[in-house]
Amino acid sequence: MERRCLAVVLAAGESSRMKSRVSKVLHPVAGRPMIAHVMQALAASGIAEAALVVGRDAEAVERAAAGTGVSARTFLQTERLGTGHAVLAARAAIAEGFDDILVVFGDTPLITAAPLKAAREGLAAGNDVVVIGFHASDPTGYGRLIVRDGALEAIREHKDASEEERRIAFCNGGLMAINGAHALDLLGRIGNANAKGEYYLTDIVEIARASGGRAIAVEAPEAELTGCNTRAELAVIERIWQERRRRALMLSGVSMIAPETVFLAWDTEIGPDVLIEPNVVFGPGVTIESGAVIHAFSHIEGATVKAGATVGPFARLRPGARLAEGAKVGNFCEVKNAEIGADAKVNHLTYIGDAFVGARSNIGAGTITCNYDGVNKHVTRIGADAFIGSNSALVAPVAIGDGALVASGSVITADVPDDAVAFGRARQEIKPGRARLLKERYLAQKAAKKKT
């Protein structure tokens, strides 16, 4: 739209019902603060400027809202006197002459761009107030939108509604758009002559109509307007978000055997023809390319898995893990800040950290890269076509050359040249008959203890 819009984001929730010391809008959904989801929806709808109305944790809220392409200024709400009063905390920004003022809540992370665009289109069509509503499966407790002949006449709170009005299922979602030319006048005329002595934003509908203006309502899916006041509601929002994202991925060509057991982060990217088995968790910063297989009970965060690679079952990829095409990280393996080359195999019970593993190399079961000396991290480099025997410890910084072989059970502290074999273990000795003598000694010691 060519019209200039300011989004007023109400984000001063105290988290009292969440029993939290952290601002409500900072609680995460899919690994991202709620406020960031809302800001992303604003950006997707074409809005470039926002006024954040904040309370506690103001600086943290401002940081969480950054990085979405929406330029946000912060305004402190020092008193809690209702939604109308909260919007006016951003009076200085509203007064700058925007065409549209869009009021949204920082605790509605499921909102998408579509209803926000629809509300602004309602203003562009000449309306003064556009309320975003929803058809409730159970409208009990919600304010009802009283619509006649296409115009929104009033928002009637449940307790004030008549029996006929209570049968209306079209309910107030709380979000609304206001004609910027009249916004401050309309907001300034909201009174507080009610039991709570608060300024209710919903009164603006009747105020606008009394001034000769027009109000309408546009509809959004009920789930998109779900707000969050308790931990239980946060869990519901997380469930809805996950269901929505899983469905989108499956429609794009991703296979999930038991999708309800797969948990995604807000930025998880998964290509077509990827197979995800049950009970997989993706943290932030994950990219899975086409044709990869993620086996059951794997946890992946901050990692890239290239086409045709295989992960798990019971594998963990930590931040900085990079699996090249056809690489395999098997069961009970952990990879951190390391690149596993094309067709390389890290199959069993292994830790690879701060390392590079070359193409087609094989890392035996129980191998670890000893990357930390108690103060600093060090790098292990393993060349192409190398073979690391089981239960080996590679003490970084160390390099294993192309085609080299490390004998099982070795502790490697020096570089191994290309095509060399390295033994880093004590020589085995055999003592014939000694086992029988030791067993007799131990049995005698056990018998002596019983007598005492």
Quote the CA–CA distance of 73 and 75 in Å, as a whole number.
7
Strand bridging mode 144-148 / 151-156: antiparallel
Strand bridging mode 5-11 / 28-29: unpaired
Residue of 306, 227, 297, 244 whose CA lies nearest to 270: 306
Quote the CA–CA distance of 180 and 123 in Å, as a whole number.
9
Tell me which residue has tokens 């074999």: 421
Type and span of the H or E element at 398? strand 398-400
Quote the CA–CA distance of 268 and 246 in Å, as a whole number.
11
Catalytic residue among 135, 182, 348, 378: 348
Tokens of 47: 């809005």
Quote the CA–CA distance of 103 and 11 in Å, as a whole number.
11
Quote the CA–CA distance of 52 and 74 in Å, as a whole number.
5
Type and span of the H or E element at 438? helix 434-451
* H runs (alpha helix) in 297-403: none
Tell me whether residue 348 is one of the annotated catalytic residues.
yes
Type and span of the H or E element at 166? helix 163-166
Per residue, the 3-state secondary structure of 233-261, as one string, reads: HHHHHHHHHHHHHHHHHHHCCCEECCHHH
Q: Is the peptide bond before 313 cis (omega within 30 degrees of 0)?
A: yes
DSSP class of residue 225 equals G
Backbone angles phi, psi at 326, to 5 degrees: 75, 0
Active site residue ranges: 348
